[in-house]
Amino acid sequence: MNVLSRKISFHDFEPELESFREAVLKGLSRRQKQIPPKFFYDEIGSQLFEAILEQPEYYIPNVERDLLTAYANEISRLIEPGSVLIEPGSGSCEKVQLLLESLLPSAYVPMDISREFLKQSACGLSQKYPWLAIYPACLDFTQQMLLPHGIPHGRRVVFIPGSSLGNFDPPEVQHFLSGIHRLTGNGGGLLVGVDRKKDHSVLNAAYNDTAGISAEFNLNLLTRINSELEGNFDLDRFEHRAYYNDQRGRIEMHLVSSQVQQVRVSGQHFQFTKGEYIHTENSYKYSPDEFITLANASGFRLIKMWSDDLHLFSVYFLEAV
Ligand code: AVJ
């Protein structure tokens, strides 16, 4: 444990550094090349993601912010003051701030794979909320969901805003939620924001912003490979593509090779035909029925759901039973 300030106890669970190389080499060796989206989030990637959140086409943060603001008191009553609030993939710790003052948790446990970003976010949060006990945990929440030692005993409530669950396939969501159920124990809570199925043009625009930030975010993965894994991707020869796959109910993000080419990563060579692509992300969209069914299958029962008038996005509070 590493005390960053009086109210911050930083826990480093040391997510494996080697896994990026392994995942990329393995992913590029597959017939359908793919790299898991968690690797978007190096320092620059995390900053680019913050910039995506500011794009007018990317409606998720605004709609979710309005919901959390409008219903903060009701949500806080359901969660109960004194709870331990745990946030996997906490990023900038922006959204939790909409709840902190009404919720008054006994502790906040932000979890993120991006170590420096996590530390900075926790320090910033601590300055704004000096009364708050913060236990940042550096880990890869797709691999491990460990709680730091020394957290208080209150009701454990997991907070997953921003539709982060959208990156998992439905069976993985169920598995992940079962893990959360084990973490919170019976009586624990889950506050989760989930993006909904909707008009395809709205979805497609959200992942193809006119400022090109989504494209930069996607392509930054190649920059990261180049700098960390001795890669030689030419970024002018790959294009960002994102579209809604209606049959699968998800946005797919690809990096498309615009010509025949060979790329080297960590001394290994990979061929690309023209139009061949690396599949870099899925972002699943759920109707309330679909999501509640998944949550039920993981041992959660719905307490309350909140949605905007346009049915763009939903926030659910569920209890582990
Ligand atoms: C962080 C997974 C919720 O899928 O909307 C945004 C990531 N990718 N734009 C999403 C993302 C491209 C985002 N999630």
User: Does 276 share its domain with 309?
Assistant: no
Question: Could you identify the atom of ligand 1 that is nearest to the CA of residue 89?
Answer: 1
The chain-wide mean pLDDT, for the chain, equals 96
Name the band, by pLDDT with cuts 50, 70 and 90, for residue 1. low
User: Does 140 share its domain with 256?
Assistant: no
User: Does 105 share its domain with 237?
Assistant: no
User: Does 36 share its domain with 142?
Assistant: no
- The pLDDT of residue 15 is above 90: no
User: Does 226 share its domain with 122?
Assistant: no
Torsion, Cα 181 182 184 187, to 10 degrees, reads: 70
CA distance 194 to 287: 9
User: Does 169 share its domain with 303?
Assistant: yes
Q: Per the domain annotation, does 302 fall within a domain? A: yes
> Residue 144's pLDDT is what?
84
Taking residues 4-15, report their average pLDDT: 87
Q: Per the domain annotation, does 9 fall within a domain? A: no
> Residue 6's pLDDT is what?
75
Helix/strand number for the chain, H first, E second = 10, 14
> Residue 4's pLDDT is what?
67
* 268, containing H or E segment: strand 268-272
> Residue 213's pLDDT is what?
98
Name the band, by pLDDT with cuts 50, 70 and 90, for residue 2. low
- The pLDDT of residue 18 is above 70: no
Taking residues 94-111, report their average pLDDT: 97
Name the band, by pLDDT with cuts 50, 70 and 90, for residue 94. very high
| Contact between residue 91 and residue 50 where contact means Cβ atoms under 8 Å apart | yes
User: Does 292 share its domain with 280?
Assistant: no
Q: Per the domain annotation, does 193 fall within a domain? A: yes
Q: Whose alpha carbon is nearest atom 3 of ligand 1?
A: 164
State how many domains the chain has: 2
Mutation choice for ligand 1 from 49, 192, 194, CB with most ligand atoms inside 8 A: 49
Residues counted in the chain: 321
Question: Looking at 36-40, 59-63, 143-147, which range is the least confident one?
Answer: 143-147
- Residues having CB closer than 6 A to ligand 1 are 52, 162-164, 166-167, 207, 214, 281, 283
User: Does 234 share its domain with 313?
Assistant: no
User: Does 164 share its domain with 299?
Assistant: yes
CA distance 31 to 10: 41
Task: Check which CATH number belongs to the domain holding 165 and give it.
Answer: 3.40.50.150
- The pLDDT of residue 46 is above 90: no
Mutation choice for ligand 1 from 281, 284, 286, 315, CB with most ligand atoms inside 8 A: 281
Specify the 3-state DSSP secondary structure of 265.
strand
Mutation choice for ligand 1 from 163, 165, 172, 176, CB with most ligand atoms inside 8 A: 163
Distance 195 CA to ligand 1 centre (A): 10
Tens digits of residue pLDDT in 120-142: 999 999 999 999 999 999 998 98
Q: Whose alpha carbon is nearest atom 4 of ligand 1?
A: 283
The proportion of the chain whose per-residue pLDDT surpasses 90, expressed as a percent, equals: 91
CA 44 to centroid of chain Cα atoms? 16
Nearest to 36 by CA among 225, 205, 227: 225
Q: Whose alpha carbon is nearest atom 10 of ligand 1?
A: 283
Distance 149 CA to ligand 1 centre (A): 31
Q: Per the domain annotation, does 3 fall within a domain? A: no
Give me the domain span that covers residue 178: 79-198+285-320
Q: How many CB atoms lie under 10 A from the CB of residue 179?
A: 17
DSSP alpha helix (H) spans, 35-169: 43-52, 60-70, 72-79, 97-103, 115-128
Q: Per the domain annotation, does 16 fall within a domain? A: no
- What are the backbone dihedrals phi and psi of residue 217, each rounded to the nearest 5 degrees, phi first? -60, -45
